[in-house]
Amino acid sequence: MSEIAALMGRVAAREGTTETGVPGVRLHRRSADIARVPLLYQQGVVIVGQGTKKVHLGETVHVYDPDHYLVLSVPLPAECEAVVAPGEALLSMAVDIDLRVLGDIIERMDDPAGNACLKAGARHQGLAVARADAAFKETVVRLLRALLSPRESRVLGPGLVRELLFRIMCGENAASLHALAVKNTGISRVEKALKHIHCNFYQPCNVEQLAGSVNMSTSAFHRAFKDVTSLSPIQYLKKVRLNKAKSLLAEDGLRASDAARQVGYESVSQFTREFKRYFGASPTSCRR
């Protein structure tokens, strides 16, 4: 077992999600494989200590493991599956991205090579897998060690998260994060639109107005949105609504009709059809 896996196992001693003393840092333990299932990924970084995960986004499959980490520049509905060896647990750590901290890091780096990703017409995806080099792994080890102590979590944790973001910006596939932190790039405008969708997912979506709110033409907005998320705005909204509804059913115990209305569906029958098509199970079966 690697040092990262051993430390993750100590921090996440119980099955499920473990919140830590550092805001925006969570660990996950699961003792069984995960069959392919739709999920709503949050903006952030996912680091695997043990096991292998796959993310299906559009027609592309992204694989990450102890030698590769996942970077989500924006929240994305995707499909996940995971494999662990018999007798082992799937261990991972999720770290949220603070865009103010990220912007300060990029400004201090003053990297001409990074600025090249901002050229006109550059395409940026909302998801990327990068190789975990020695410097990145060493930072992860020190962060995990700090998480074992409440005092070190409070004092050292935020600085180590900042260092981790710096290591990511020094690694491969950092272009989307670089563009995200700069105003008026395609991905930064799409990210602003995504925030609006997540805050107002229960309301009808007017794509023309949404494009106008981020100062883009409808056609340019559609292209940029598809580049970043691999989905159209309407497809993205539908998957967000269905994931939100599943949470209402599984965590709050709402009835299907109530969950449907809360996420913006006017027709309960349409909601039931789309829910079953997306998750492969009826809303009733997912209710707590």
* Count of C-beta atoms within a 10 Å radius of residue 131: 12
- What's the pLDDT score for residue 173? 83
Return the closest-CA partner of residue 64 out of 5, 123, 129, 17: 129
Residue ranges, the chain, pLDDT below 70: 111-122, 288
- Give 239-256 pLDDT, tens digit per residue: 999 999 999 999 999 999
- What's the pLDDT score for residue 117? 56
- Where, residue-wise, is CATH 1.10.10.60 in the chain? 184-288
- What's the pLDDT score for residue 184? 81
- Where, residue-wise, is CATH 2.60.120 in the chain? 3-179
- What's the pLDDT score for residue 1? 80
Q: What is the dihedral of CA 177, 182, 186, 188, to 10 degrees?
A: 70
Give Cα separations from 119 to 192, 220, 250 (angstroms): 20, 16, 45
CATH of domain 3-179: 2.60.120
Whole-model pTM: value is 0.91
- What's the pLDDT score for residue 110? 79
- What's the pLDDT score for residue 113? 53
d(CA 208, CA 74): 21
CATH of domain 184-288: 1.10.10.60
d(CA 210, CA 234): 11
